[in-house]
Amino acid sequence: MTKDSDALAAAKLLAEYRLPGIVVTDGERVPRAVLPASQVVRFLVPGYVQDDPSLAGVLSESVADRTADALRGKTVGEMLPDPKAKPVLPVVRADDTVIEVAALMARARCPLVAVVEGKQMIGVITASRLLQVALTRT
């Protein structure tokens, strides 16, 4: 996905594959940011409900049914966390070890890392996949 990709398509991809996030690349497949699934969920909740969560209980089901409308016509770039904040973009090389990847995930507190060869992204490692590999070795 790029910053110009459709927000609703990105949300559907996250939901369908139960992904913790998506790596956002530029036109040359160079990783630029991570869009966490939690950020997409946050984007769906109206600001006044985020400010006062008790309001969520009084919203009708028809309002809940329209939550995806918040994504229509939006881009992935609009859903990214605050651009003024330093972006978390954990990147590893294809030959990094499981421990190196785990250390970066832990330090960045990010559920996925981009795998690059040179500058180009060639894949993604999720925390759940890393745990699966690490636990199979025990």
- Give the pLDDT score at 108: 84
- Percentage above 70 pLDDT, the chain: 89
- CATH of residue 118's domain is 3.10.580.10
- Give the pLDDT score at 87: 60
β-sheet bridge partners, residue 114: 91, 124
Identify the domain containing residue 87 by its residue range: 7-136
Position 2 in a domain: no
- Give the pLDDT score at 64: 56
Position 49 in a domain: yes
Position 12 in a domain: yes
Can you read off the two tokens belonging to residue 69?
């409308």
| pLDDT, tens digit (0-9, with 9 covering 90-100), for 55-86 | 777 766 666 567 778 888 999 999 987 767 66
- Give the pLDDT score at 22: 94
Say how far residue 87 (Cα) sits from the centre of its chain.
Answer: 12
Question: Residue 121: is its pLDDT beyond 90?
Answer: yes
Position 17 in a domain: yes
Contacts of 18 (CB under 8 A, 6+ apart): none
Domain count, the chain: 1
